[in-house]
Amino acid sequence: MTDNVHTGNVPTGSIPDERPPSNTVGPVAWLRNNLFNTWYNALLTILIAWLLFKAIPPLLDWLIFSANSFGTPPQVCRQEGGACWTFVSEKLRFVMFGTFPYDEQWRPLITIVIIIALVLASCDRRFWKPWLALVWIAGLTAVGVLMWGGVLGLTYVENTLWGGLPLTLMLSVVGLSVAFPASVLLALGRRSQLPAIRVISVTYIELIRGVPLISLLFMASVMFPLFLPTGVNFDKLLRAQIAFIMFAAAYMAEAIRGGLQAIPKGQYEAADALGLNYWQAMGKIILPQALAISIPPLVNTFISFFKDTSLVIIIGLYDLLGTAKAALSDPAWRGFYREAYLFIGVIYWVFCYSMSKYSQKLERDLRRGHRR
C-alpha cells in the first residue's frame, strides 16, 4: 500500500518479541487490578475476605462436616447440631408428592418427568413448529390420565390428594398455557382502535395488576362458589387454577403489548397496503414479530409466576412449599426448618435460575438474528 512512502521515520525490520511487563499480566497483576486497585478497595477486600473467612467454615461445617447423614434419628440430630439430612430422606416422598397414595407415587413422578421434558423441548428453537402444540396436548393429556387415573387400569385419585412438586408444576404449566392465548387477545384489545374493546381490556389488565395475587386467590376460594348457579361446584384446585390464569393473563398481556409497541409503524402500513384484514395482518405480520420480541419478558413473567404458585398454601392447597411446611409440623421433626427450606429452596432455585439463564441466552440469540 502506501507504507513505502512513510518509511522515512519508521524503523525497518521487526521488533523482537518481548514478554508483556510483569505488572500487567499474571495472578499478581490480576490481584492488583481487581482487588487492590485503590486504597479503599484494598480495605474492602480485606474486610470481606475476613467476613467470608468467618462465615464460610461454620457454614460448610453445618452443611457437610458435622451434618448427620441419612438415617440418624431426630433426637440425635438435635443433640449433635449440624444439618440433619435424615429429615430430607425421611420426608422426601411426602414433600415431593404430598398425600398421593404411597404405592401410586410413580405416577406423579412420571408426571414431573413429562412436564420437564415438554418444557425442555419447547426451549429448543428447532422445535418451534406447529406440531409442538400437538405434543403439548398429548403430554398434558398423559399427565391428566396419570394423575387422576380411573382409566387404563389406574386407580382413581381425587385431586384433593395431589400435592408437592407435580402440583407446583401443573399449576404453572397449565396456567401459563391457558393464559397465553388469552393474554394475546388482551394485548391486541388494549391496542385496538375500537374504544369499547380497548376500555374493557385496559380495565381488566389494570384491575388485576393493581391487586395482590392473594386477593385473587381469596376471590377464587370464597367468591367463585357464589358466582355459580346453585348446585354447580368447582373444586379448590380448579378455582385456584382459574385465579392463576386470570392473573398470568394480565401480566403476560403487558409483556406482549411491549412487543407490539416495538413493531415499527411501517409494518402495519405494509399490511394495510397488501389489503390484509385485521386478523390476517396481526396473525401473519405483526404477532410473529411482536411475540419474538416479547419472549424474554414473557420468560420473566413465567419465572415470577412459577414462584407465585407457592401462594396456594394460603387457600389450603399443598404445593411444594405447602408439603414442606406440613412436614415441619410433624412433632418429631419440629425445628428442622433450615434443612426443609434449604431443600425446596434449591429446587425452586434450579427451575427459576435455569429459566432466567435461558431467557438471557434467548435474548442474545434473537438479537443476533436481528443484526444485519
Partner 1 sequence: MASKTRDTARPSAPGGVSFSLSDPTVRAVFYQILVVGIVIAVGWFLIHNTLDNLSKRSIATGFGFLEREASFGIGESLIDYHPRDSYGRAFLVGVLNTLKVSIIGVVLATVLGTLIGVARLSSNWLIAKLASTYVEIVRNIPPLLQLFFWYALVSESMPPVRQALNPIPGVFLSQRGLFVPVPSADPVWGMMAFALAIAVIAVVFLRRWAKARQERTGQPFPIGSASLGLLVGLPLIAYIAGGAPTALDVPKLQGFNFVGGVVLTPEFFAILVGLVVYTAAFIAEVVRSGILAVNWGQTEAARALGIDSGKTLRLVVLPQALRVIVPPLTSQYLNLTKNSSLALAIGYPDLVSIANTTLNQTGQAIEGVAMIMGTYLVISLGISIFMNWYNKRIALVER
Question: Within 157-216, which residues bind partner 1 (CB under 8 A)?
Answer: 191, 193-197, 200, 207, 210-215
CA atoms within a 13 Å half-sphere pointing along the CA-CB vector of 92: 8
> C-alpha cell of 293?
420480541
Of 67 and 312, CB closest to partner 1: 312
Of 49 and 133, CB closest to partner 1: 49
Closest distance of CB 44 from partner 1, Å: 6
Contact letters (x/-) for partner 1, 23-62, by CB under 8 A? -----------xx-xx--x--xx--xx-------------
Output the CA torsion sign for 133, 108, 163, 78: negative
Rounded to whole angstroms, how far apart are CA atoms 254 and 206?
10
Rounded to whole angstroms, how far apart are CA atoms 37 and 222?
61
Of 90 and 339, CB closest to partner 1: 339
Q: Judged by CB under 8 A, does residue 227 bind partner 1?
A: yes
Are 297 and 275 contacting, i.e. CB atoms less than 8 angstroms apart? no
Q: Judged by CB under 8 A, does residue 234 bind partner 1?
A: no
Give the other-Cβ count within 10 Å of 223's Cβ. 11
Question: Within 337-356, which residues bind partner 1 (CB under 8 A)?
Answer: 337-338, 341, 344-345, 348-349, 352-353, 356
Stretch that binds partner 1, among 78-86, 124-132, 233-241, 263-271 (CB under 8 A): 263-271
Roughly what angle, to the nearest 10 degrees, separates helices 164-190 and 287-308? Answer: 140
Stretch that binds partner 1, among 105-113, 149-157, 169-177, 222-230 (CB under 8 A): 222-230
Phi, psi (deg, nearest 5) at residue 29: -65, -40
The DSSP string of 19-86 is PPPTTTSHHHHHHHHHTSSSHHHHHHHHHHHHHHHHHHHHHHIIIIIS-B-TT--HHHHHHH-S-BTH
Of 92 and 352, CB closest to partner 1: 352
Q: Judged by CB under 8 A, does residue 299 bind partner 1?
A: no
228: left (phi over 0), alpha (psi -120 to 50) or beta: beta
Q: Which residues bind partner 1 (CB under 8 A)?
A: 34-35, 37-38, 41, 44-45, 48-49, 191, 193-197, 200, 207, 210-215, 218-219, 222-223, 225-230, 265, 268-269, 271-272, 278, 281, 303, 307-308, 310-311, 313-314, 321, 325, 328, 334-335, 337-338, 341, 344-345, 348-349, 352-353, 356
